[in-house]
């Protein structure tokens, strides 16, 4: 029987304001794919200090902490998440001063790109259609259409796993393709400062419109998904390999390899995470058999499988 942490965490109720802790929260409400079981405890702090309190408590009592952004690059398994699932969505203010944009990491990166446009700052247009939070974008070094977070991020305030504040500068981010110091060291990013450039609002808007049309034309945005499921293999495109393997339209349960964009697996009919992941593995095996290429997932799988009932 998998250990649950609700009892151990009872003292947290006295340390955090009412409405911050949610017991047995269904995570399908918080993931872009609309899949996933329940979190023992889903905590939504409203300040950096409350976030620190949670982390210090968890560290002291050895309670696992899982951080969820907008859930647009994760598959939460059907058994849900044990311990604390932390959401920083209430920490979402964005301010612009001169050429700097400071965003709390619970804000969406789409909103950050719009706020940059409103302040006539160029550099974040590439992010105008990436459906994650600012924190998720740091973790993944999110990028699109030739731009990426690494190009514009200047400094980030983080909490370590032990609950200590720390400010990281550009040199410490270790950004690579869908990788960063945030993924390597499990830092919780709280707030980031972007350095942008003065631009022309009409030109910024025109660029955002162009990228939005490109996205809407190519991507199956009408269905829940987690975007591109697989990383680009060196010198190739995962979507092309999947398309050439004849996999588009293949279904397991309610999960389907998109007919519009082969790199996406969409939830067309109440798919479970188990069905979705079976289809991911089927795609990987088929592409390997056909082309000898191992597709690595870009999407991150978290949580537990459903426990089988124990028979006497
Ligand atoms: C339709 C669609 C289109 C997409 N297009 C793109 C695209 O063009 N380019 C691209 O790069 N991605 C794209 N994605 C994938 C996804 O939106 C990005 O990877 C995004 O950055 C994930 O952010 P999130 O907040 O949803 O993170 P989540 O999926 O919730 O989490 C991803 C990881 O980030 C970590 N994380 C979240 N917040 C923080 C934080 N504050 N501090 C530290 N770690 C944190 C989580 O713990 C987790 O490990 C797309 C997804 C969809 C559904």
DSSP 68-116: ESSSSSEEE-TT-EEEEEEE-TT---EEEETTEEEEETTSBHHHHHHHH
Token duo for residue 151: 């190009």
Identify the H or E element spanning 163: none
In a domain, 214, yes or no: no
- Report the distance separating Cα 209 and Cα 203, nearest Å: 10
Specify the residue with its C-alpha closest to ligand 1, atom 40: 135
- Report the distance separating Cα 305 and Cα 195, nearest Å: 42
User: Chain-centre distance of CA 192, in angstroms?
Assistant: 16
Domain that holds residue 43: 2-86
- Report the distance separating Cα 152 and Cα 161, nearest Å: 26
Atom in ligand 1 nearest the alpha carbon of residue 158: 42
Query: N- to C-terminal Cα distance for the chain?
Result: 14
The pTM score is: 0.95
Averages of pLDDT over each 10 residues, the chain, 312 residues: 80 96 96 96 98 97 96 97 97 98 98 98 98 96 94 97 95 88 92 98 98 96 97 95 98 98 98 98 98 97 86 60
User: Do 7 and 101 fall into the same domain?
Assistant: no
In a domain, 75, yes or no: yes
Boundary (domain end) residue, out of 86, 103, 122: 86
3 state DSSP class of 275: helix
- Report the distance separating Cα 12 and Cα 65, nearest Å: 14
Specify the residue with its C-alpha closest to ligand 1, atom 39: 135
- Report the distance separating Cα 150 and Cα 154, nearest Å: 9
The answer to whether the Cα torsion of 112, 75, 287, 263 is positive or negative is negative
Q: Which residues does the annotation mark as catalytic?
A: 178, 228, 298
The whole-number pLDDT of residue 308 equals 75
Query: With contact defined as beta carbons under 8 Å apart, do 115 and 134 qualify?
Result: no
User: Do 33 and 49 fall into the same domain?
Assistant: yes
Contact 258 CB / ligand 1 (< 6 Å): no
Going from the Cα of 8 to the center of ligand 1, the distance in angstroms, rounded, reads: 30
User: Do 118 and 159 fall into the same domain?
Assistant: yes
Token duo for residue 152: 């514009």
Q: What is the CATH number of the domain that holds 283?
A: 3.90.78.10
Query: For residue 22, what are the β-bridge partners?
Result: 42
Contact 226 CB / ligand 1 (< 6 Å): yes
Boundary (domain end) residue, out of 60, 86, 112: 86
Contact 224 CB / ligand 1 (< 6 Å): no
The whole-number pLDDT of residue 311 equals 63
3 state DSSP class of 278: helix
3 state DSSP class of 240: helix
Atom in ligand 1 nearest the alpha carbon of residue 137: 21
The whole-number pLDDT of residue 109 equals 98
Contact 156 CB / ligand 1 (< 6 Å): no
3 state DSSP class of 164: coil
Pairing of strands 81-87, 38-43: parallel
The whole-number pLDDT of residue 312 equals 58
User: Do 130 and 47 fall into the same domain?
Assistant: no
């Amino acid at each position: 029987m998998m250990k649950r942490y609700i009892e151990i965490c009872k003292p947290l109720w006295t340390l955090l304001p009412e409405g911050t802790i949610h017991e047995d929260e269904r995570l399908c409400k918080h993931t872009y794919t609309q899949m996933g079981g329940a979190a023992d405890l889903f905590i939504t702090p409203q300040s950096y200090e409350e976030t620190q309190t949670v982390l210090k408590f968890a560290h002291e009592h050895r309670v696992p902490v899982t951080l969820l952004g907008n859930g647009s690059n994760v598959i939460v398994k059907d058994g849900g998440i044990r311990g604390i699932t932390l959401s920083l969505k209430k920490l979402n203010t964005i301010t612009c001063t001169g050429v700097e944009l400071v965003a709390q990491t619970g804000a969406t990166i789409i909103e950050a790109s719009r706020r940059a446009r409103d302040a006539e700052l160029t550099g974040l247009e590439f992010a105008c259609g990436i459906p994650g939070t600012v924190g998720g974008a740091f973790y993944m070094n999110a990028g699109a259409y030739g731009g990426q977070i690494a190009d514009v991020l200047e400094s980030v305030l983080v909490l370590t796993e032990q609950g200590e504040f720390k400010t990281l500068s550009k040199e410490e981010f270790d950004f690579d393709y869908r990788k960063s110091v945030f993924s390597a060291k499990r830092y919780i990013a709280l707030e980031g400062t972007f350095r942008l450039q003065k631009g022309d609002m009409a030109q910024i808007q025109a660029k955002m419109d162009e990228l939005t049309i490109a996205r809407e034309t190519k991507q199956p945005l009408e269905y829940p998904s987690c975007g591109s499921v697989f990383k680009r293999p060196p010198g190739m495109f995962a979507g092309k390999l999947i398309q050439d393997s004849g996999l588009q339209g293949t279904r397991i349960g309610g999960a389907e390899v998109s007919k519009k964009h082969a790199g996406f697996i969409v939830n067309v009919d109440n798919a479970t995470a188990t069905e979705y992941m079976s289809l991911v593995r089927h795609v990987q095996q088929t592409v390997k058999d056909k082309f000898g290429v191992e597709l690595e997932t870009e999407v991150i799988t978290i949580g537990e499988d459903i426990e089988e009932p124990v028979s006497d």
